[in-house]
Amino acid sequence: MKTFLAPDALDYEQRGFYRLATLKEGCPLADELRPLWPANAKLLFVAADPADDTTTENDAMDLASALTKAGLSVGQVLVLQGETADAAAPLVAGAQVIVLGAGDKAKREAFFGEVGLPGLLAAAPDALVIALDEGALAAAGR
């Protein structure tokens, strides 16, 4: 399993009601991922706060959009959050790219523990893992 740390990787541009995300100028994430990136990747975004569906879903789509703009195709975006916690094992097992969300340390640690994320990641050795902060790596047992 290849793991990448990408804190504060996105730039945002506000256009009217729309917020458009791109990777920050000089961010090496796309270049590091490119040789390993699967075509039309199935991306799973793991919530830092399982009860905050709106933020989780927006963050997942923003990152997927930014990666696509950088030339890394994303075919499907799924989220592991409170509503989908019962399906954690098949979601993680089916993902090619797993993004560990940034946010509240206590909520994230509790949620990652509740769904058994460290064990699920260990059982998905071919997945690419992108952590949005160092705390996410620690909470996921990485």
**Phi and psi at residue 95, in whole multiples of 5°?**
-85, 145
pLDDT for residue 45:
97
DSSP labels, the chain: -EEEE-TT-EEEEEETTEEEEEEPTT--HHHHHGGGPPTTEEEEEEPSSTT-HHHHHHHHHHHHHHHHHTT--EEEEEEESGGGGGGHHHHHHH-SEEEE--S-HHHHHHHHHHTTHHHHHHT-TT-EEEESSHHHHHHTT-
Percent of the chain surpassing pLDDT 90 = 82
CB 42 within 8 A of CB 21: no
Query: Quick one: CATH architecture of 2-139?
Result: 3-Layer(aba) Sandwich (3.40)
Instruction: Using pLDDT thresholds of 50, 70 and 90, give the confidence band for residue 15.
Output: confident
| The pTM of the whole model exceeds 0.75 | yes
Q: What is the pLDDT of residues 62-101, one digit of tens each?
A: 999 999 999 999 999 999 999 999 999 999 999 999 999 9
Percent of the chain surpassing pLDDT 70 = 100
The domain spans of the chain are 2-139
